[in-house]
């Protein structure tokens, strides 16, 4: 039922990591149906990897644009999201649109909302490497989104400072922590949690968990990463490696081409979030170019070697649990072997550190939306357009 005193919130996301990080917000909003008319639109920039998360958090989208195409280009996703969101926004006329992070869904949805003069709330705002091509195209996606947003949900003090540096007003920024920690704690503490590992592993062997998917690592950098992984397993007979291989065909071709069929290397399809968390807990070392995993693993006391030269998430690097090693063969070999062979070096990194939140970020976002509504009054939509 439409109730003019409720704030109409449209939450939009499209990929796996956005879904993991927005699910706690959607579920927090759903607790207050008298205050919020909350709807969810998925662009389905990802399909299977998105649906895995919707199932876990029991979210049934109100709109599903079903946009994913095999090996889609940035031009295709951008225009498809922009045009798809035009239709949804015209129909829904929300008071505020919530987007997350730095994907093309995020950027193009923000642009669509801007064209309709609908305020945007940016969850995980303010992350920066200050290098427009790293990561590509994410750095510019978040710059565009932050240029448009009216409300900034900054996960850390550092991201808040970045926003102030780029002209956001202090009253627009709400320091929330990262909703990824809400999702992680929810998943780790679910009463019906499945404690089984998703694959059979040898208890006597150490586990290296690997994920790779960044566009700037396609081609030669990913070949170099895979050659190093191959060598690492071959030279360390007490090591097993699990790689849930991203569905992107550019990733699959390279990873299966070099690592397919090797003993003690398990190439598997992307895992549901719950079993993936279980695997992170079992891992001794994590190698990744993922953003979200850099935020989750330190809470689990796991050393993370990041297969990138730059990160927009410097907090865990400063705390010493995450190290940037780039997609470089020599560095991957040296740093992984150091962790495998030097217990002091391992212990120095494997300490619990969580600069990314206390698991209550989504409640702070809900409170900020309440405050936004109180400031704008019941005719928020009309007054801002
Ligand atoms: C996207 C985001 C990236 C984010 C990543 C998370 C952009 C430009 N990139 O990158 O910021 O870190 O998601 O994983 O927004 N595919 C499937 N099934 C799926 C998902 C993907 O088959 O469920 C395949 C399709 O062929 C698709 C391709 O992967 O065309 C690439 O997907 P896309 O979202 O364009 O790029 P990602 O590399 O996944
Ligand atoms: N993840 C997952 N299953 C997997 C691999 C990763 O659920 O097989 C989760 C991971 O825990 C993290 C998120 O997916 O929360 C990260 O997604 P991805 O690395 O694709 O994107 P990024 O964070 O780099 O944008």
Give yes or no for residue 383 having a pLDDT over 80: no
Q: Which atom of ligand 2 is nearest to the CA of 103?
A: 25
Contact (Cβ atoms closer than 8 angstroms) between residue 355 and residue 297: no
Q: What is the pLDDT of residues 290-334, one digit of tens each?
A: 999 999 999 999 999 999 999 999 999 999 999 999 999 999 999
Q: What is the pLDDT of residues 86-115, one digit of tens each?
A: 999 999 999 999 999 999 999 999 999 999
Known active-site residue 315: no
Known active-site residue 213: yes
Q: Which atom of ligand 2 is nearest to the CA of 289?
A: 24
Distance CA 42, CA 68 (A): 11
The string of DSSP codes covering 263-299 is TTEEEEPPPPHHHHHHHHHH-SEEEE--SHHHHHGGG
Residue 122 structure tokens: 């940016």
> Based on C-alpha coordinates, what's the Rg of the chain?
21
Q: Which atom of ligand 2 is nearest to the CA of 183?
A: 15
Distance CA 61, CA 64 (A): 6
- Ligand 2, CB cutoff 6 Å, lining residues: 16-17, 20, 211, 213, 244, 270-271, 273, 276, 290-293, 296
Contact (Cβ atoms closer than 8 angstroms) between residue 272 and residue 52: yes
What is the predicted pLDDT for the residue at 1? Answer: 47
Known active-site residue 161: no
Residue found under tokens 């079993």: 275
The string of DSSP codes covering 305-373 is EESSS--S--HHHHHTSEEE-TT-HHHHHHHHHHHHH-HHHHHHH-S---TT--S-HHHHHHHHHHHHH
Distance CA 98, CA 122 (A): 6
Report the nearest-CA residue for atom 2 of ligand 2.
273
pLDDT-derived band of residue 227, with 50, 70 and 90 as boundaries? very high
What is the predicted pLDDT for the residue at 194? Answer: 84
Known active-site residue 46: no
Half-sphere exposure of 196 (CA within 13 A, CB side): 3
Q: Which ligand is located closest to the Cα atom of residue 198?
A: 2
Residue found under tokens 């550190």: 353
Kindly give the distance from the C-alpha atom of residue 55 to the centroid of ligand 2, in angstroms, as a whole number.
15
Distance CA 191, CA 185 (A): 12
Report the nearest-CA residue for atom 37 of ligand 1.
248
Known active-site residue 102: yes
Kindly give the distance from the C-alpha atom of residue 297 to the centroid of ligand 1, in angstroms, as a whole number.
22
Distance CA 84, CA 194 (A): 37
Catalytic residue selected from 213, 308, 313, 364: 213
Q: Please indicate whether residue 145, judged by its CB atom, sits closer than 6 Å to ligand 1.
A: no
Averaged pLDDT of the chain? 95
């Amino acid at each position: 039922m439409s109730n003019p005193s409720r704030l109409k919130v449209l939450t939009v996301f499209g990929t796996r990591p956005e879904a993991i990080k927005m699910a706690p917000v959607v579920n927090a909003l759903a607790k207050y149906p008298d205050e919020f008319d909350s709807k969810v639109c998925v662009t389905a920039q990802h399909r299977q990897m998105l649906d895995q998360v919707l199932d876990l958090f029991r979210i049934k989208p109100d709109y599903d644009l079903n946009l994913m195409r095999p090996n889609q280009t940035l031009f295709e996703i951008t225009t498809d999201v922009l045009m798809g969101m035009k239709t949804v926004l015209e129909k829904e006329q929300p008071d505020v649109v919530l987007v997350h992070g730095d994907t093309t869904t995020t950027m193009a949805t923000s642009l669509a909302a801007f064209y309709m003069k609908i305020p945007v709330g940016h969850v995980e705002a303010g992350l920066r490497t200050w290098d427009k091509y790293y990561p590509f195209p994410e750095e510019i996606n978040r710059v565009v989104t932050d240029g448009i947003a009216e409300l900034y949900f900054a996960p850390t003090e550092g991201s808040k400072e970045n926003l102030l540096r780029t002209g956001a007003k202090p009253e627009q920024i709400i320091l929330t922590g990262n909703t990824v920690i809400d999702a992680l704690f929810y998943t780790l503490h679910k009463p019906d949690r499945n404690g089984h590992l998703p694959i059979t592993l040898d208890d006597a062997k150490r586990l290296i968990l690997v994920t790779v998917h960044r566009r700037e690592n396609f081609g030669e950098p990913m070949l170099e990463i895979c050659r190093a992984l191959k060598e690492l397993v071959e030279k360390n007979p007490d090591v097993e490696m699990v790689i849930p291989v991203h569905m992107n065909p550019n990733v699959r071709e390279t990873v299966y081409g070099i690592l397919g069929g090797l003993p003690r290397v398990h190439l598997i399809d992307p895992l549901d979030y719950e079993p993936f968390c279980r695997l992170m807990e079992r891992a001794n070392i994590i190698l990744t170019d993922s953003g979200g995993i850099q935020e989750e693993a330190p809470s689990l006391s796991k050393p993370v070697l990041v297969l990138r030269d730059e990160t927009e998430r410097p907090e865990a690097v400063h705390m010493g649990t995450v190290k940037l090693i780039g997609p470089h063969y020599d560095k991957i070999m040296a740093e992984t072997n150091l962790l495998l062979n030097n217990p002091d070096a391992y212990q120095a990194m494997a300490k619990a550190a969580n600069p990314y939140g206390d698991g209550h970020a989504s409640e702070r976002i809900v409170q900020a939306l309440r405050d936004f509504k109180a400031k704008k009054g019941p005719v928020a939509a009309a007054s801002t357009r």
